[in-house]
Structure 1
């Protein structure tokens, strides 16, 4: 019974977050919506994984269209706030300033008691429930697991960004090497033709 309660609490905690990676086409604008009650602590974090100059515009608005946050051409950033009104909040990512390159963007939107395994257990009875040693251990383990998952996510993002930069650099070096090789071959052929012209006898017809 205790184990089933812990699993249920875990499910409740995890559904309070949006974590995804999506593609943002060139000259595109993509928005995400979330219904949030008033007085809820929220955190939104984003990062451009690949594409272009690794920058994106991001705007966060409440249900009345009030701008809570605006980031211009940023590779990554985070913003935390507490909701003042209940309603649908909107986070929009814009790549309209880029006409050639599409981008891959990571977003993590957390709200409420996302960091707690056992949030307000006895809210109905308005008293603090006594946690058993097993529940306390499970809560501590859940916090550690979420911290580890967060570290792993950021490590994967850094690894993906570094790998993409390395691939782009390798492609540029390859193209530069091919260009240098073509120039050397062209100069070699031109020198051979020039030397041959020096030793070619010109016949004069009278």
Structure 2
């Protein structure tokens, strides 16, 4: 199986896993895509003013395992720029109101396409689960019930943050696992190729030596007769 075919199979496998956690209403996004040789692909993430934005990317497969990365703000300023790196993490806090542009560059590679995984985390100031704010309104002011509801809300927020962090770590680990799998398959092909080539050279040398020795003894017999 050639390298492009393996890249497409690896992309399909990763996309099937990531689509369940993809571009939904959740503010955390994971995506895996193939970046063609000599091309630049850009993605956009909408944010609100005074939020926080974190971008993490990882090159999973492709020759060199490196791409260029640029993060541009809605006002057009370049906030981060990487050249030929395999991974990176960039944070913007606070954010502007508008669309941030995430560009991945593979223009320096004329032959090899790259598989890139990236994770975008957008955190708002108000948090998630706005419906929980209604619980506090149901309780009378300055009552024990209000304090209990605040404690429950704080506990639920803590559990939610831990679950989100666990999901993000698992997504990154899946990206590392896919990259390691690709490297293992590529190294296995190289080891098998050079092993077969070495074996062929050894057999050729052995046959040449046997043929030379036989010719040498045949010449001695002819001289003796």
TM-score category (smaller protein) = 0.7 to 0.9
Q: Which position in structure 1 is the counterpart of 2:179? A: 161
Tell me how large the CA RMSD over aligned residues is: 3.0
Uncovered stretches (5+) of structure 1, i.e. residues with no partner: 1-12
CA drift at 1:95: 0.9
Q: Runs of 4+ in structure 1 displaced over 4 angstroms?
A: 119-122, 201-204
Higher helix share: 2
What residue in structure 1 maps to residue 115 of structure 2? 104
Evaluate the alpha carbon distance shift between residue 74 and residue 30 of structure 1 in structure 2; reply closer, same or farther with a 3 A threshold.
same
C-alpha distance 120-60 of structure 1, shift in aligned 2 (>3 A): farther
- State the distance in 2 between where 1:87 and 1:113 align: 14
Which of 58, 64, 67 is the matching residue for 1:56?
A: 67
Q: Is the 8 A contact 2:30 2:171 kept in 1?
A: no
Distance 1:119 1:82, change over 3 A: farther
What is the alpha-carbon distance in structure 1 between the residues aligned to residue 116 and residue 132 of structure 2?
36
1:152 aligns with 2:191: no
- Secondary structure of 1:18's partner? strand
1:25 pairs with 16, 19, 36, which one?
A: 36
Q: TM-score, normalised by structure 2?
A: 0.71
For residues 65-101 of structure 1, give each alpha carbon's deviation from its aligned partner in whole angstroms, at most 9, with x where no partner exists: 3211101111111111135643222110011111222
- The alignment status of 1:67 with 2:78, answered yes or no, reads yes
TM-score by length of 1: 0.77
CA contact (8 A) 1:117 1:143 kept: no
**Which structure 2 residues correspond to residues 1-206 of structure 1 after superposition, within 5 A?**
15-82=26-93, 85-113=96-124, 116-118=127-129, 131=149, 134-201=152-219
CA distance in 1, matches of 2:28, 2:175: 18
Separation in structure 1 between the aligned mates of residue 163 and residue 95 of structure 2, nearest angstrom: 31
Aligned residues: 188
